[in-house]
Every structure is written in C-alpha cells, then in structure tokens.
Amino acid sequence: METVIRVGFVYLFILGILRVLGKREVGQLTPLELVMLILIPEVVGQALVREDFSMTNAVIAVTTLMSLVYATSVLSYKFRRFEELVEGRPSLLIENGSPVKETMDRERITPEEIASEMRRAGIERIDKIKWAVLETGGKIAFIQFSPDDEQPPTEEEPVR
C-alpha cells in the first residue's frame, strides 16, 4: 500500500507543479501525458536496475499511475470545474487588434512570441486580429476579422 500512496503523492505533486508553471512551458503535451511520461521510467527504473528486487512493486506502481491518469481523465470529462483545475482556461492575448497586457504578463508571453506565431499563421499585422487566444495546450490560436466585422482603425506598421 505504501507504493500506491507514494505514486499518488508524486503524481499530484508533479501535476500541481506543471499547472503552476503555465501553459507555454508544458508545450505540446497535456499535463496528464507529461506526468505519465516523467513517472513511468522512475517507477520501473528501480526494478530494472535491481535496486528494488520486486517486479511486483513496479507493476503495482505503474498500475496505480495509470489508474490515476484514467481517473483524472474521467473526472475532467464529467466535471468542468475539475477540468479547469487540471487543464486551466484559455487566455485572451489580443482583443480587437490590441494586446491584452495583463494577460500577456500573467502568462509570460512577449510581443515577440506573438509576432512569431503571427508570422507562422501568415498574419502580417496585429490590427487584422479579432482575437488571439492562448489555448490550454500552450498554442496560440488567431481569429481574424471577417469582412463583415467592424475593425478598429488600421495602423500601417507591420508586425516585425
């Protein structure tokens, strides 16, 4: 039972740390995937190098880890509040062509990062963006103004 408690504690600790670090640091992986990838080698490593002679202990630890990942997934699916706690919420970085400075500061996103992502998306100017959203997975999504939308006055300076 000690193995189950230890794995559970480490799982929750790493998940919490990743949540505090923020969306951009996690990158392409969801926090659940990253926790699982970090912990599996640690859990079976001792059994493989024979520091812990019990393969049963490694199997119990991996089973506990997978059960926690599955339970977190189910709870996130069923309860929106739990999903927000684990995954976070999308953050609005640009609104109607203007950067949302408070959000950029909180998420530690620089104007240069936004400009780089805009170039990758084929967007030349910030005033063409209706919204830029930092998704929970760490990617920035851009919604451009449609021809029917009322756009703010345009600036002639392109994004560098």
Query: With pLDDT > 70 as the criterion, what percentage of the chain qualifies?
Result: 74
Residue 130 or residue 156, greater confidence: 130
- Using DSSP, state whether 93 is helix, strand or coil: strand
Mean of the per-residue pLDDT values of the chain: 79
Q: Tell me the C-alpha distance between 62 and 65, whole Å.
A: 5
- 91-144, what's its fold? CRO Repressor (3.30.240)
CB distance 132 to 140 below 8 Å: yes
Give residue 153's pLDDT band: very low, low, confident or very high (50, 70, 90).
Answer: low
CA dist list (Å): 49 to 38, 42, 58? 18, 11, 12
Give residue 75's pLDDT band: very low, low, confident or very high (50, 70, 90).
Answer: very high
Q: In the prediction, which pLDDT does 23 show?
A: 57
Q: Is the pLDDT of residue 158 over 60?
A: no
Q: In the prediction, which pLDDT does 57 show?
A: 75
In the DSSP assignment, the letter for residue 29 is S
